[in-house]
Amino acid sequence: MNASQFDGSAAFYGGGFMAPSANPTPEQSFFPSKNRDIQTLLPLTVKQISNAIAGENGKSEFSIDGVDVTTVKIVGIVQENVGRITEVTFTLDDGTGRVECNRWCQDQTDTAEMEGISNGMYVRVHGRLKSFQGKKFVQVFSIRAVDDFNEIASHFIECMYVHFYSSLPKPQVGVGVTAQPHMTIPPNQLPGQYSLDGQWSTEEKVLQVLSLPSYLSCVQGAHINDIARQLKISVHDVMYAVKNLEGESKVYSTIDDSHFKSTANG
Partner 1 sequence: MDTSNPSVFVNAELLRLYVGRQVRAVIQVVQSDPGIVIGKSTDDIQLIVKGTPPFPLTKFVEVIGIADSDKSIQASIWNNFGDSIDMHAYNQLCQLANGEFKHLFI
Which one, 44 or 228, has the nearer CB to partner 1? 44
To partner 1, the closest distance from the beta carbon of 93 in angstroms equals 8
Q: What is the C-alpha separation between 183 and 126, in angstroms, rounded?
A: 15
Q: Rounded to 10 degrees, what is the CA torsion of 35, 40, 43, 48?
A: -20
To partner 1, the closest distance from the beta carbon of 191 in angstroms equals 27
Burial zone of 232 (CB within 10 Å; 0-12 exposed, 13-18 middle, 19+ buried): exposed
Q: What is the C-alpha separation between 84 and 104, in angstroms, rounded?
A: 9
Which one, 131 or 172, has the nearer CB to partner 1? 131
Which one, 122 or 252, has the nearer CB to partner 1? 122
Which one, 95 or 169, has the nearer CB to partner 1? 95
Collapsing DSSP to helix, strand or coil, 61 comes out as coil
Q: Where along the sequence are the contacts to partner 1 (CB under 8 A)? A: 45-50, 77, 95-100, 120, 122, 135-136, 148-150, 153-154, 156-157, 159-160, 163-164
To partner 1, the closest distance from the beta carbon of 88 in angstroms equals 19
To partner 1, the closest distance from the beta carbon of 60 in angstroms equals 18
Which one, 195 or 217, has the nearer CB to partner 1? 195
Q: What is the C-alpha separation between 19 and 260, in angstroms, rounded?
A: 37
Which residues in 71-87 are b (16+ Cβ under 10 Å) and which e? bbbbbbbbeebeeeeee
To partner 1, the closest distance from the beta carbon of 199 in angstroms equals 17
